[in-house]
Amino acid sequence: QVQLVQSGAEMKKPGTSVKVSCKTSPSTFTGYYIHWVRQAPGQGLQWMGWINPHTSGTYYAHQFQGRLTMTRDASIITAYMELSRLSSDDTAVYYCATSIGWGQGTLVTVSS
Amino acid sequence: DIVLAQTPLSLSVTPGQPASISCKSSQSLLNSEGKTYLYWYLQRPGQPPQLLIYEVLNRFSGVSERFSGSGSGTDFTLKISRVEAEDAGVYYCMQAIELPVTFGGGTKVE
């Protein structure tokens, strides 16, 4: 069973950045791309991009390019998603996911 | 980007009755190797989405046989043979044949 454990909720001011972590298992880290998907309150799912934990290769959806960075730390089998220049429109639950399982989600609230 | 149009937006079903959700893609989801990258997820309230069906018709591990997927090319359907109370939530189709990955708008089943 895939286990993806995300960091806790964050409250951020507009213009700042947030970094969300996603801890996996060794088999997940080496076997699957890790995707990041967000869901604004009451809205649908929006795919943000993926990282290949094995190579650190990334692909970002065009609407996030320039302010989205996905990284990973193989020593602690953890992936990270950092989003900069936050606005209230970025208030959402952020999920990490593989093809066979999802993290529990991290609520990011952007408010002045 | 590939657009996935789901219908209906919402569905009220009596337990024990069947339900059907449609997902239409703006372009074919069939690749040159004969695989079709269309997936179905269920998101229960307060939970992350869970995978039900992958590559059009394959039930994911542990998913009830009451769920079935069908379709080809650009038109796909998720069917629930006999709806149970635990099936309530929002159903999403998703395509992964082309980046960016995109989701349908969701169908709320009550």
Q: How many CA atoms lie within 13 Å of B17's alpha carbon, on the beta-carbon side?
A: 9
Partner-chain contact B54 A99, CB within 8 Å: yes
Question: Mean pLDDT throughout B61-66?
Answer: 96
Rounded Cα–Cα distance for residues B71 and B95 (Å): 13
C-alpha pair distances (Å), B13 with each of A18, A51, B61, B85 = 41, 39, 25, 9
Q: Is A27 helix (H, G, I), strand (E, B) or coil?
A: helix
| pLDDT-derived band at A1, boundaries 50, 70, 90 | low
Mean pLDDT computed over B27-36:
94
- Residue A30: strand, helix, or coil: helix
State residue A87's pLDDT score: 97
The span from the CA of B78 to the CA of A52, in Å, is 30
pLDDT-derived band at A28 (thresholds 50, 70, 90) equals confident
User: In this predicted model, what pLDDT tens digit does every residue of B45-59 receive, in sequence order?
Assistant: 999 999 999 999 999
The pLDDT of residue B36: 96
Q: pLDDT tens digits for A35-77?
A: 999 999 999 999 999 999 989 999 999 999 899 999 999 999 9
CB contact under 8 A, B51 and A104: no
- A62/B100 Cβ within 8 A: yes
CA trace torsion A6, A8, A14, A17 (10° rounding): -50
**Residues of chain A with pLDDT > 90: what percent?**
88
Q: Cα–Cα–Cα angle for B73, A50, B92, nearest 5°?
A: 45
Residues in chain A within 8 Å Cβ distance of B100: 47, 49, 61-62
Mean pLDDT of the region B2-31: 96
The encoded tokens of residue A33 equal: 């791309």
The token duo for B62 is 């542990």
| Distances from the Cα of A75 to the Cα of A4, A20, A79, B31, B46, angstroms | 16, 17, 11, 36, 31
Q: Which residues of A touch B97 (CB under 8 A)?
A: none
Measured CA to CA, the distance from residue A9 to residue A19 in angstroms comes to: 11
Interchain pair A59, B94: CB under 8 A:
no
